[in-house]
A and B are shown apart, each in its own frame.
Chain A
Amino acid sequence: MSDKYDVIVIGAGPAGYVAAIRAGQHGLKTACIDKWKNYDGSTAFGGTCLNAGCIPSKALLESSELYHRAREEFSVHGISTGEVSMDITTMQKRKAGIVKQLTGGITALFKANKVDGLQGSGEFLGEGKVRYVSHDGAERMLEADHVVLATGSEPIELKSVPFDEVTVVDSWRALEFDAVPPRLGVIGGGVIGLELGSVWKRLGSEVTVLEAMDDFLFMVDRQIAKDALRQFKRQGLDIKLGAKVTAAEVGAKGVTLTYEDKTGTQQLEVDKVVVAVGRRPYTDGLLGAGTGVELDERGFIRVDDECRTGVDGVWAVGDAVRGPMLAHKGSEEGVMVADLIAGEVAEVNYAVIPSIIYTAPEVAWVGKTEEQAKESGLPYKVGTFSFAANGRAKGMEQAVGMVKIIASADDDLIIGAHILGPMAGELIGEIVLGMEFSASAEDLQRTIHAHPTLSESVHEAALAVDKRAIHAINK
């Protein structure tokens, strides 16, 4: 292994490893440095997404939902079981197996694309130089024409409720519980808090979600958010809005959380606390002195819309830079940067990035909310269609939620779509594609959607935009 590369990527999360693979596809001599270590001391590529976030959470969400449906829903189908029980160890083992398969997959992809995957820390020293220190302490000075910073993000810690790694934990540890906590307090009712809360609720915890903001899911379309809140509460998630946690006291019997809401000061006793109040960019040990790479006031690495840092040959992508902290956004930035380095034209369309919450029902959205449409002043029209009227959803016993499509009243251009319901995360893809091609509501109306499918609800919502849904009464 030589020390001179065309490209060195620091960080092998979804932004970094994708950038490295794409650079390899261009025939660029690439190295990808990553310092991730699991709790058991093992190393793995894939960053937070594969090891501590996206993948393990989806595995547990699936397992926990099956458990829940087996217990609560099977009888409706006429299926009787005995007492349905679950073994958390087996569940965690399955999850770990999936993670291991996928992280191993990255190693294989690196090899196939001739990317040198280097486990250890990488410090960018400026002028194309990177100090690489492997986990066993060996140090090498590497050099590259281009350096891509992709060190991602870390959970935000609350000063009032500091992590103790046992009873007050971050989202990663919350995925690793080896026993179902009888009472779980979740501080933060955003995407991560809701998903984690859902998992442990289904597995038997009594879950209370304490959200500081008065609005539930503030970034989601209000109509959808309202319906979602109703659904989650029906499932038994105790979601308290406007609840600001001020202190946590860890005792023998558990944790006492003190929080303020509009009625005053409250207390909550739980066995474990998960703090899921957001993530912040992680750049510890990344930048040596005088590199010229700047961080903004929130700690994100400053970049333009081509992810250039302003220092020649230095790029930054993923959670470490501005924009939604989504794996797919990071990955596409990684591809863009690799393409630009290879001398091609490339860009990321930040206007059409879908977001998903993997609760049941799922929440998914892309483009403008109705509130944003109203604020923009441009005339718009809206169509909604309930899954209650969707045959497929009924057959699945998941006829909950709706599809909502917002289009410009002037030229019919689809400007936003919001889905609460089964497979929302998959269904949103059709509309993302449509928006990339500047589709109008009429384009969706005139596209055949198979029957019986969940996607018919997308079709009907598009028809509803012009008040001509077939399977609903148009008002």
Chain B
Amino acid sequence: MSNGPDGSSAGADHIPVSADDTAREGDGAGLTGRAAPLEVQDLVAGYGGVTALHGVTVTAGAGAITAVLGANGAGKTTLLRAVSGMIKPRRGRVLLDGTDVAGRGPEQIVRAGIAHVPEGHGVIAELTVEENLRIGMMSWPSRLARRRAPESQRADRAAALDEEFARFKPLADRRRKLASTLSGGERQMLVIARALLARPRVLLLDEPSLGLAPRVMAQVMDLVVRLSRERGLTIVLVEQNARSALSIADHGFVLNLGRVVASADAPTLAADVALRHHYLGF
């Protein structure tokens, strides 16, 4: 485990790089001049007779980290599941670069450019590390669709794999081992690497720090920051741990009982004592 690039962990003194925030509560407008890659508008979703989201509007700025916060049952996970197609929204739109993908299946939405790392158990323990990563490339266009020689496609895939192995050294060392042999932090690396292999424009992360030791958690947060800064990836980060999420996020939305109750840039949310006590628990 050594992926802290410059030793700087996600500290409270981190300074977000986004432009001035202009979003108001429930306001779907873009954060900056650039169009937001992901705009969720008035989303209603739930399970069976239960409605978990009552018209949620959330915008994720290009190349920024957008934190979605709130207590248990606030609807954070449901929001990600509705965006990635795991559940069908009953109403509302999910705009990916202006195209509404709401209602499509997850296997289509990942092809459109949204990768979702669900909470917990995202590693397939019965498969090897490399096999887990190869699954990340299943959304790539098939041989027939691309009309390219199988050899060059194989080379593309091998190169993409090598890139992730170079980024995540501990995974490279265990390439042929079963994923069940990995530590918690390595598992989190594996699922994030697998999501990256889908070459998404938007990455949805559900509680990446769940169950990790504080030091490992800091490394994972650090990784999330680097993905945003270095790759320009648009990241939506759902976290129970609001303090550490806000320390790396550019913007934050607070959900409560399926509604957005606050939306502001991360430092503003972190400075709002009443909001923190009320909804964020710190």
Verify that A and B bind, or say they do not.
Answer: no
Binding site for A on B (CB under 8 A): none
Binding site for B on A (CB under 8 A): none
